[in-house]
Structure 1
Amino acid sequence: MPNIKSAEKRVRTSARRTLRNASLKSALRTTIKKFERALAQSDLEQAQITLRIATRALDKAATKGIIHRNAANRKKSRLTRRFNAVSRAQQA
């Protein structure tokens, strides 16, 4: 337990931030899973919409420091590549 008043406050604020970060990270994972579900069902319209939502969520998470900026870019790239591969396969 901290003995100094400022250290006590840091414990409280870090606990609050941990809860908020966990919630945001969980919501981010949910948006990515929605995209993957739409892609698995070969619903390209829904997949395109959810890809846009997932991309925006990844950018927001990177801005807020939930995940690293490079990790967000890597995930966006991989999701987009998967979408493009499925859409090309359906067109052929």
Structure 2
Amino acid sequence: MANIKSAKKRVQVTAVRTERNKAIRSEVKTYVKRVEAAVEAKDKALAESELKAAIKVIEMAGSKGVYHDNTVSRKVSRLSKLVNTLA
């Protein structure tokens, strides 16, 4: 454990940010699973509405620095491609 006051604070701040990032990543995974479930059920209307919600959550995570911009683009692209496979 750190002895210097500023180092102790950095440890605390890192712990708080790690928890926040984990929560945001978990939320993104939940939304992605919803889209995948809708595609699996072949429900295009539901899949499109879930895709819209998922894109919003993914882009918010990217704006908060949880994901790199390219990762955000890749996730959105793959989900969009998946939904577009429905006729």
User: Shared topology, TM-score over 0.5?
Assistant: yes
Percent identity between matched residues is 39
Q: Which has the higher helix share?
A: 1
Larger-gyration structure (1/2): 1
Corresponding residue pairs, total: 87
Q: 4+ residue stretches of structure 1 with deviation over 6 A?
A: none
**Structure 1, gaps ≥5 residues long:** 88-92
* Alignment correspondent of 1:90: none
Shift of 1:79: 0.8
RMSD over aligned Cα atoms = 0.7
| Bigger RCO (CA 8 Å, 6+ sep) | 2
* Alignment correspondent of 2:74: 74
* Alignment correspondent of 2:19: 19
Structure-2-length-normalised TM-score: 0.96
* Alignment correspondent of 1:34: 34
Shift of 1:28: 0.6
**Structure 2, gaps ≥5 residues long:** none
Structure-1-length-normalised TM-score: 0.91
Which amino acid is 2:52 matched to?
Answer: R
SS in 2 for 1:75: helix
